[in-house]
Structure 1
Amino acid sequence: MTPHRGRGARDVQIATSTPPRGGRSAHQAGNTALASSRATALIGTTLLVIGVALAAANLRPAVTSLASVLEQVRGSVGASHAWASALTALPALCFGAAGVLAPRLNRHFGLARAVGGALVLLTTGLALRVVDGAVVVLSGTLLACAGIALGNVLIPVVIKQSYPDRLGVVTGVYMGALAGGGALGAALTPSMADATGSWRLALGAWALLAAAAVVLWVAGARHADVVAAQPPPPRRSLLRNRLAWTVTVFFGLQALVAYVIMGWLPEVLIESGVDRTTAGLYLAICTLFGVPTGLFLPPLAVRMRSQSLLIAVLTLIGGLGIVGLLIAPGAAPLAWTVLAGFGMGVFPLVITVIALRTDHPADTASLSAMAQSLGYLLAACGPFLFGLLRGITGGWTASLVLVLVVTVIQAAVGYAAGRPRTV
């Protein structure tokens, strides 16, 4: 798979010169003007696509694997319920904070090294968190989530830069691998813990997958070429850009709803009469909807001039699932789960929208960092408020009404974010 000219041709055009070896070529060194108009870009090979997919498959198991054995881990290390609450809130908070660093790392080290460093950080955190007690588990998870946050921001930039004519297809591969990895983390970890008799071995095994991603990324990202590109736009803050804020709020609201569903759906279903094992299975089904939506929606969205209607319809379908849980949760729990899963399928669209609402990879990185850093901080409020309302009212009605209101607002904001324009 090689890059072609197309929508991204105004961003990156592959020159015919030979790739530099061991740094800048003699010709570049002797011609400052030419050097200033050239840079290096990762060549969009098939191996790089595989590297992107394997990296994406590692961006969720760190969270879902731990969630699936959380009570076992908490009891083993002698931690409190407050510690467990902090641990479950850590990913979203970390995603928001660490994502701010991604554009700086991109500028200073380049995409290949920045993504590679993120994967190394992830691998280190996954290995560290299983060697000791509560503090080490928390610290290792923090490192792993920091690596995930950087990958969340940087990998879409790789796709934007290296596959301008295959933006939808490669984004679909990325999103499908992301959802698949998360589902595997939740589904396989309890079985591995039972088979090995140790939650440490079960969680530590995911460090091996992350290490494999590091190796494959190094192999796939070593191919770069000299590119002739338009000069990057002057460095500017997007904080005063209305469209950037629209995309950011859209990202935050869909993440808020997704984190509420992933964190609380089993408890809602259990109180409606569903047994705990089946409730967990329903959550797995809900999560797995990210695989087909991740594979098929981005290519469809890229071919559409406006993504507004697709975003609004998918969001409102998810809202029907929330209505079902609110009115008659025990009547058709599988149906409500399926509808909620469709609604969570809007996540691949918001990632695609970040790329489509920008004209230059530098803007893609900036918008991705802004949307994910501020958006995840907004999302972290959702599970907390959902549980707080449950504790105050003694039921789920107020909590579900809150999520339903957020879903309606998300549909409106997402419709605006899907309109064809750029920051």
Structure 2
Amino acid sequence: MARSALTGTRIRERRLALHLRQADLARAVGISAAYLNLIEHNRRRVSESLLETFAKALEVAPVALSEGAESALFEALREAAAGVETAGTAALIEPSELERIEEFVGRFPGWAKVLAARQARLDALERVVETYSERMGQDPFLLDELHEVLSAVTSLRSSAAILVETPDIEPEWQARFLASIASESLRLSAAAEGLVSYLDGIEAAESGLAAPLDQLETWLSGRGWHLPEFERPDPPAPEELIAQAPELAASAARDLALAYLTRALADSRTLPLKPFLAALAETGLDPGRLAARFGAPMAAVFRRLATLPEGAANLPPLGLVVCDASGTLTLRRPLPGFALPRSAAGCPLWPLYEALARPMQPLRLTLDMAGRLPQCFQSWSFAAPRPQPDAVAAFDAPVLMEAMMLITPATTRAETARPVGTSCRVCPRADCTGRREPSLIAV
């Protein structure tokens, strides 16, 4: 069990909370009061066995006296400190102070929890802003209503300006402009009411789950992106799984699910689970070698890797992004630290899009994802023509390309990592050469 340099501080705080004297606690754990004094002042480390004895005497779990109990709190505070600098403000906390986060938590646990809670709330609000910004950029109803509001405001301003700037206007024209103002006021009021009513109907936590693709991904996420039914010798038909999924409420979502499950069933037959895991343990995470070993399409290997059971073959967490030739994301399995936009386009620097310009050529790149706590990810990208049903396949049929990007946390931080973001709307990289629109969070 990991123990921090402040284990003694926690022992002392717990002893005082129980109104125990040093001598009483020292007697209970079988050490001298002088040695306990050194421990409580963090001048002696506590062994594993002694920590358990302290925990029993203080009536707490051993982890409560170790740093593991507060690791999430430490991470939240580090993220809060990094967020200030990311937002464009000069760094307020020196690196030497960051090393004293543990001491801050030990001395002021209440304030530390308040800051962590505020940071969590800020993260939630930023996700809401991102959701609404994407809706406003993609939702045709919102665009129409906003246009209606702006049009009415412009008309009102023009009529009012004429009345103010023309004191000797004829009564007939004055009446016309007043009538126009009254009419445009009603129009503006109706448009504003419709807009507010529509926005009120959107729950902040919904995040656009009404979209068919969101329904499919939510259902898959609830299953851990793994379909154990397809690993059996007698797998059920995709339609059977869909019939048991109330999350797939829309008919379009069920159509997407049918296409996805049909392909997943074919992947499980091409790459059976046990042989695939055995090969993975032997070759490591190398999609190219796995594809060559099984004589399988690279796309099938990408999908299979991203849908293995959690913890299989000691694999790290894996994410998967799929897009068509237009760059539209058609499947998104997110990865912690590598957020994926729901409706806006992704970062133009993702190798996912570069693969579209270099079909059939595998790309392996390390990516430096922008954020409060920048992280590095290993990525594999590949693009190939999407197989077409025999009914529509023809010699002169158009070639429909599909690109995929498999991502996993990098074990080391590479100096040559490519800086990327989630999407331009929420990317803090102000000097990015690929930026196509201003960021909502960059200063």
Normalised-by-shorter TM-score class = under 0.3
Greater fraction of residues in strand? 2
Rg (Cα) greater in structure: 2
Query: Larger relative contact order (C-alpha < 8 A, sep ≥ 6)?
Result: 1
TM-score (norm 1): 0.26
Higher helix share: 1
